Amino acid sequence: MNKSTMKYIGKRLLISAITLVIIVAVLFLMLKLMPGTPFNDEKLTEAQKLAIYAKYGLDQPFFVQFFNYMKNMLTGDFGVSFGIVRNMQVSDLVGPRILISFGIGIAAVILGTVIGVLLGIYAALHKNTLADTLATIFSVLGVSVPSFVLGLLLLLLLGVTIPVFPILYESSHPLRSSVLPVIALSFGVIANVARFTRSEMISVLASDYIALAEAKGLDRTTIIRKHAFRNTLIPVITILGPILVNLMTGSMVLEQIFSIPGLGRLLVEGITVNDYNVVLAVSFLYSVLYVVMMLIIDISYGIIDPRIRLGKGD
Amino acid sequence: MADRERILKIRDLNISFTTDHGKINAIRGVNLDLYKGETIAIVGESGSGKSVTTKAVMGILASNGTIDSGVIEYSWNDENTGEHKTVDIAQLSEKDLQKEIRGRKIAMVFQDPMTSLNPTMTIGKQVMEPMIYHYGKSKEEAYKKTLELLELVGITDAEKRMKNYPHQLSGGMRQRVVIAIALSCDPYVLICDEPTTALDVTIQAKILELIQDIQKKKNLSVIYITHDLGVVAKVADYVNVMYAGKIVETGLIDEVYYDPRHPYTWGLLSAMPDLDTDDDELYTIPGTPPNLAYRVDGDAFAPRNQFALNIDLRVEPPMFDVPGSSTHKVASWLMHPNAPDVKMPEALKNRIEKMKKEGE
């Protein structure tokens, strides 16, 4: 890695950090603007409520609260839960769930991308044949059928009719329990990636440099492997960002269906009981994941595509 | 020139494409000869079939194209045995074409250097690739030869350039690289498909000179495909004027330029932009080329030809020899001994006179 690349990554890291601070600020503000408080119990008197607010610092002006939150966050303190498990450290609440949620999500992205790319390339190489049409139908289905519908279908098929996998998430069998959710989530990824890969591959194969490779007397396999593959993958990488966002929202519902003790489910619960700190922490985690993914995508884009690489390249 | 060695012989080549609009007869009976060390040019409008002809020679016709009939004979002396060999490219399998012909015996320089190089591969790798692939050269050998080739095509600082990617080079530089790639397997025939069309005018002449220079050094045979008659005049020994999938006039450069016989060639020469013409408007040939999805009766150019005879609309003209020349041939009924004496337009005649004077 040369100096200009390091400089570029440094710059991107700084921008990412600023982005995250802004995200936290906006989240913080929006949560404060939400109606209700975490302490909506009718049995509490006005005085008791004020005492609780004072205890958690919720009586402070907005900027003081924000400043305190940021200050604590930098030391790794995300505050305590107000509702879900009262007074439990949010980091303790969130920590064990990260692995479960991200594990399933990353597995779905990897599985979906690999299968999607292969499927897309296959369809492109067999353009306008039956196989291509089937792949296209599959892609349209995959894009239009939400992951939770597929999840329910899989549950019915492989959980109830042929009980191969557990219906609900079992913490004692995390791998076996993750199979169905991963498949359900990856379906959309496969479809998106396959569709995109197919059209990219087709346009790459029609390009002049493929004609030149042909004129060099290379065989078809070499042409595809050495000249078409990389140029097809570059644009495919860019859609992984949006796909990831899709995946995050999809996983929230899916975690409910499969009763997965993950972040998505925690977030939904947190929102229903106005558990500020939990909502903030989980949303922040999602943002970090997204920003980091975008960073990785941009950097890998630069590695795989010399035109994006910074500096003069010499 | 009795000892000329024929390298390519195309006879009665017919190529058609199957499309949604039916079968299109893109090439209709083309005859061509290419001799060692010589240069021929194929000129004509877009869609006249000049590119298709050369693609057939390379065996890279689009998947919906087929060679219906004809031979494309390629002859060479075997490097090891010295034996004279001939193959019919039209009959070769895709595998043989790919392994034996493309890149190794016949190489191609493409039109647009901005898009014909792989954007994600270094220049060096792209030039080295065919020689490693075809001849199994080691990396070191290939590297050395690539350096020589890049220097040959006039790339300075070749060692540094080899690590560059195409986007770091100018258009003219990239075309030099494309030429280096074409030369990488020491081909005998170089097909240049409008090699300068996409380049700056200032670069065009340099690239043409380079190709000529290399041709002399390596004793290559070159086929130029172009619609630029100026380019043809500079580089070619022979010209073939193509119209609607047929060669309508062929001959030495001087014969076709100074003594054109086919009305289409008259049109082409008249349509050449010129600084010292008296006309305000640039001459254009009226009408458009025929749709080859339909059968062409008679001379395909007849509907656009103000000198067309009655017979032109009914019977296809054969190739007539121009009297006094063994090389100049014209497919026009005007050449028939019984045809009325039609002279080329006066404006063109003046123009040719001027060209002749400048040429001397």
- Give one DSSP letter per residue of B218-230, joined into a string: HT-EEEEEES-HH
DSSP reduced 3-state for A273: coil
Report which of B32, B24, B22 is spatially closest to residue B319, judged by C-alpha positions. B32
Alpha helices, DSSP H only, in chain A?
A: 3-33, 46-56, 62-74, 90-125, 130-144, 147-154, 174-205, 208-215, 220-222, 229-238, 240-257, 263-272, 276-304
pTM above 0.95, yes or no: no
Domain assignment of residue A228, given as a range: 98-304
**Which of A217, A227, A306 minimises the CB distance to B98?**
A217
Give the whole-angstrom CA distance, residue A2 versus residue A156.
Answer: 53
End-to-end CA distance of chain A: 12
Give the whole-angstrom CA distance, residue B182 versus residue B190.
Answer: 7
Range(s) within chain B of domains with CATH label 3.40.50.300: 6-236
Q: Is B115 on the interface with A (CB under 8 A)?
A: yes
Report which of A280, A278, A276 is spatially closest to residue A53, judged by C-alpha positions. A276
Sign of the torsion angle spanned by Cα atoms B70, B76, B82, B84:
positive
**Residue-by-residue pLDDT tens, chain B, 360 positions:** 457 899 999 999 999 999 888 899 999 999 999 999 999 999 988 889 999 999 999 998 888 999 999 999 999 888 788 888 899 999 999 999 999 999 999 999 998 999 999 999 999 999 999 999 999 999 999 999 999 999 999 999 999 999 999 999 999 999 999 999 999 999 999 999 999 888 888 888 899 999 999 999 999 999 999 988 888 888 999 999 999 999 999 999 999 999 999 999 999 998 887 776 666 777 888 888 888 888 888 888 988 988 888 888 888 999 999 998 999 999 999 998 888 888 888 888 988 888 888 776
pLDDT at B278: 66
What are A15's two structure tokens? Answer: 């921008």
- Listed as ranges, residues in chain A with pLDDT below 70 are 1-2, 309-314
In a domain, A115, yes or no: yes
Report which of B138, B220, B147 is spatially closest to residue B180, judged by C-alpha positions. B147
pLDDT at A314: 38
Q: Which residue of A has its CA nearest to B125?
A: A226
In a domain, A216, yes or no: yes
Q: Please answer yes or no on whether B117 and A306 come within 8 Å at the CB atom.
A: no
- Answer yes or no: are the C-beta atoms of B88 and B43 closer than 8 Å: no
Chain B 122-141, residues with CB within 8 Å of chain A CB atoms: 122, 129-130, 133-134
Chain A hits for B168, CB-CB cut-off 8 Å, are 312-314
CATH tag, B6-236 = 3.40.50.300
Q: Which residue of A has its CA nearest to B163?
A: A314
Residue B325: how many other CB atoms lie within 10 Å = 12
pLDDT at B149: 94
In a domain, A242, yes or no: yes
**Cα-based distances in Å from B6 to B34, B318, B319:** 6, 24, 21
In a domain, A50, yes or no: no
In a domain, A63, yes or no: no
Domain with A103 in it: what CATH number? 1.10.3720.10
What are A64's two structure tokens? Answer: 């003081």
In the sheet that B22-35 helps form, which strands lie side by side, from edge to edge?
Answer: B22-35, B6-19, B65-77, B84-88
Report which of B112, B129, B237 is spatially closest to residue B180, judged by C-alpha positions. B129
**Which of A217, A231, A306 minimises the CB distance to B134?**
A217
Query: What's the gap in Å between the CA of A267 and the closest CA on chain B?
Result: 43
Q: Please answer yes or no on whether A218 and B98 come within 8 Å at the CB atom.
A: yes
Query: What's the gap in Å between the CA of B96 and the closest CA on chain A?
Result: 10
Count how many domains chain A has: 1
Q: Which residue of A has its CA nearest to B178?
A: A212
**Which of A217, A234, A312 minimises the CB distance to B102?**
A217
Give the whole-angstrom CA distance, residue B26 versus residue A272.
Answer: 71
In a domain, A122, yes or no: yes
